[in-house]
Structure 1
Amino acid sequence: MPAVSGRRLQIEVWSDVVCPWCYIGKRRLDRALDRFAHAGDVEVVWRSFQLDPAHRAGAREPVYEALARKTGGSPAQVRAMTGQVVELGAAEGLAYDFDRAVAVNTFDAHRLNQLGRAHGLGTQMHERLMRAHLMEGEVVDDVETLVRLGSEVGVPADDVREVLAGDAYADDVREDIREAQALGATGVPFFVLNRTYGVSGAQPVDTFLSALHRAAGAPGAAAR
């Protein structure tokens, strides 16, 4: 494989902050990067995607109830389904707590993530939002909650309030979603390496590592 020292490898990740598979996928990508010799030349960009864009803004519902309504499954079936995800998350060091999780519309959370990216904190902001929803029972459409979560990773509180009070970054969120659709993504997580290689889903670590090696050796790796 050709060396990529001095060349940037970009990984774009379409993800929703309430998606348990996305957090598992992030952990597996992180582990692959730990084994990748040129990890210092990798830039990860977190892009917006909504698993349930039809969820009414301002509506809040326990996740188990929302899943039962959406899938038509019984409460027992929903808990069995999420129980498998909880076990997979635990294997990645993620303590999912769906008993406390609240289903919301994630559009404002994605606008905050776009703001975080503008401050150079996109990865930190996205992870903080995922942990807040999936592990801590935070309500991630609540303005004060989003202000606090933004502040925790270094996004100024005044900037968060200003963004959430208007429609800043709304077009960026919509453009990310349109772009995912144009690339053929039907779900998330969806990883695109240098717009050359795609990885769909929370794949095993070795799959991510193989994709990193292929993308690093491709002519499309952009020079710094």
Structure 2
Amino acid sequence: MKISIWSDIRCPFCYIGKKKFETALERFAHKDNVIVEWKSFELDPDLKTQPHIGTIAYYADVKGMGRQSAEQLFGNATQMAKEVGLDFHIENAVTANSLNAHRLIHFAKTKGYEEVMGEALLSAYLIEGKNIDDITYLADLAGAIGMDKEETTKMLVSDEYTYHVRQDQMEAKNIGVNGVPFFVLNNKYGISGAQSPEAFLQVIEKAWNEYEKENPTLEITKGDSCDLDGNCN
């Protein structure tokens, strides 16, 4: 069974939702039969990277939310993060476009590093206050998790994987996703937001029950045969 998850590196609730979903999946009896696919979603595709402007100031002033409302929003997110073992420092987060970070995740997927890269980028933005649009930093991060730094730099200075990001976002638009995190299970069930592990698990189990009915396990009666390794019995 496949579970597709749309998220943005800049979204604190995406990191919180990721942790709650992972907790639920660990409790699921058939977790080894679940394929998790991460999808790109840019909350603000036209955002101009401005490392000298903090995220809270950006939402308060540029987005017109007001300082008190912005601090309250991210304060609530920080408190929620603590409940799942995350120590957010959103007050240190900088205003940065997330396209390059999403491109890097797609590139990392081709190298088998999709999950660890996604986790590293979320931590970089929401905990460490790094500029996730800085190519030098992103290449260093790739090197730190085991990817080839020079190869990563070459990819980042091109426009490779931009199409993949746009395709993910078009798919999200086609199914009506207008906020993240958003989870789609077995192409039938959608979950919006950072739900509780219990809520996630309930839907995972419901989707699995339908998946099993549509994809029944083949019952095999064994007899004399030979396998691909040339063993006969």
TM over 0.5: yes
Mapped to 1, the partners of 2:132 and 2:160 lie a distance apart of 17
Q: CA deviation at 1:76?
A: 2.3
1:199 aligns with 2:194: no
Q: CA deviation at 1:221?
A: 5.8
1:114 aligns with 2:106: yes
Note the residue ranges of structure 2 that are not aligned, 5 or more in a row: 218-233
Change beyond 3 A, Cα 1:129–1:22 = same
Contact 1:47/1:176 (<8 A) preserved: yes
Match of 2:15 among 8, 13, 23: 23
Higher relative contact order (Cα pairs below 8 Å, separated by 6+ residues) = 1
Which position in structure 2 is the counterpart of 1:175? 167
Which position in structure 1 is the counterpart of 2:50? 59
Contact 1:64/1:75 (<8 A) preserved: yes
- What SS is found at the alignment partner of 1:149? helix
Mapped to 1, the partners of 2:146 and 2:190 lie a distance apart of 31
Which position in structure 2 is the counterpart of 1:34? 26
1:76 aligns with 2:68: yes
Which position in structure 2 is the counterpart of 1:89? 81
Contact 2:6/2:181 (<8 A) preserved: yes
1:127 aligns with 2:119: yes
Select the structure of larger CA radius of gyration.
2
Write out per-residue CA displacement over residues 201-221 of structure 1, whole angstroms, 9 at most, x where no aligned residue.
Answer: 111111110111112122456
Mean Cα deviation higher: 38-47 or 126-135: 38-47
CA RMSD after TM alignment: 1.6
Note the residue ranges of structure 1 that are not aligned, 5 or more in a row: 1-8
- What SS is found at the alignment partner of 2:90? coil
Contact 1:55/1:105 (<8 A) preserved: yes
Q: CA deviation at 1:71?
A: 4.0
Q: Percent identity?
A: 36
Which position in structure 1 is the counterpart of 2:130? 138
Change beyond 3 A, Cα 1:201–1:70 = farther
Q: CA deviation at 1:70?
A: 4.6
User: What's the TM-score once normalised by structure 1's chain length?
Assistant: 0.91
1:148 aligns with 2:114: no
Which position in structure 1 is the counterpart of 2:180? 188
Write out per-residue CA displacement over residues 98-125 of structure 1, whole angstroms, 9 at most, x where no aligned residue.
Answer: 1210021110110001011111221111
Output the amino acid matched with 1:25: G
1:101 aligns with 2:93: yes
Contact 1:194/1:221 (<8 A) preserved: no
Mapped to 1, the partners of 2:216 and 2:68 lie a distance apart of 49
Mapped to 1, the partners of 2:203 and 2:180 lie a distance apart of 17
Which position in structure 2 is the counterpart of 1:5? none
Mapped to 1, the partners of 2:134 and 2:202 lie a distance apart of 40
Q: Number of residues paired by the alignment?
A: 214
Contact 1:98/1:134 (<8 A) preserved: yes
Moved over 4 A (4+): 220-223
- What SS is found at the alignment partner of 2:168? helix
- What SS is found at the alignment partner of 2:6? strand
User: What's the TM-score once normalised by structure 2's chain length?
Assistant: 0.87
Contact 1:25/1:201 (<8 A) preserved: yes
